[in-house]
Amino acid sequence: MTDKHNPESIEATEKDEHGTPKDVAFAKRIKSFVVRAGRMTELQRETYARHMSEKGLTLDMGMLDYAAVFGNDNPVVLEIGFGMGKSLVEMCQANPELNYIGIEVHTPGVAKLLRDAEDFGVENLRVFEWDAIEVLEQCIPDASLQTMQLYFPDPWHKKRHNKRRIVQPKFAQDIRKKLKVGGTFHMATDWEPYAEHMLEVMEVAEGYENTAGKGNYHPRPDFRPLTKFENRGEKLGHGVWDLIYARTV
């Protein structure tokens, strides 16, 4: 068996198109997230174990067959970084005609999402507990998504950390490739400098059109539930900025 933590075993690992072992390429990539420790209650652990087998997705499944995963041909919405999952569960409830895939790296958030999905009888939801970049590359077919959602990602406030922001030119194109033509990439943030950064990146991104008009932010759409971040920000007098871009080609 190959040990990805043992340098002597690297030669046995799968390599990318440049000949670099994928384990090494992944390690070298600047990550936009930090895996933080979190506590899980006994109930959360039980729910996690019971429902990940039902609603959990894994990289070794390869490119997903949505009809097989969900048992229907409904359009698919993917959300990166759903946190504790409250708003994602609300969207699943409000839109039973859509299928949702959530990606999150924090186990307590995944456990909370699964518990809420159980409590509210949500069936149109599946979950990856993994890095979104790898999920996109290995499991999401090209031109298959109706919507990509990225709500309140880590803004990496300090200038020296700005390179860790997930919204970058390459990421915009990685997302576009996964959207259907006409599908949308919806971002939201409560940090104005990050909103400006998102707008700067997306306004020049090839193959996109700003649905609010060039250079404009989008009013919060009714289908995006208010989150705890937004409620907290409103109390502090902070704004929230939505950006929605449609794939044109």
Tens-digit pLDDT profile for residues 66-107: 999 999 999 999 999 999 999 999 999 999 999 999 999 999
Beta bridge partners of 77: 100, 147
Q: Dump pLDDT digits (tens) for 215-225.
A: 999 999 999 99
Pick the residue with more confidence: 134 or 39? 134
The active-site residue, picked from 16, 23, 142, 154, is 154
Kindly report the pTM of this predicted structure: 0.83
- Cα separation of 209 and 25, whole Å? 32
Let me know if 154 is a catalytic residue. Answer: yes
Tell me how crowded residue 1 is: count the other CB atoms within 10 A of its CB.
4
Mean pLDDT, residues 170-176 taken together? 98
SS3 labels along 136-178 = HHHHCCCCCEEEEEEECCCCCCCHHHHHHCCCCHHHHHHHHHH
Does residue 138 surpass a pLDDT of 80? yes
Structure-token match 């384990």, residue found: 23
Residue 232 has what pLDDT?
A: 75
Instruction: Give whole-number Cα distances, 244 to 147, 155, 174, 216, in Å.
Output: 10, 18, 16, 10
The residues pairing with 69 across neighbouring beta strands, listed in sequence order, are none
- What's the chain's average pLDDT? 85
Delineate the domains of the chain, giving CATH numbers in brackets: 38-247 (3.40.50.150)
Give pLDDT, residue 37.
Answer: 52
pLDDT confidence of residue 229: 66
Mean pLDDT in residue range 20-35: 45
The pairing of strands 179-189 and 241-247 is antiparallel
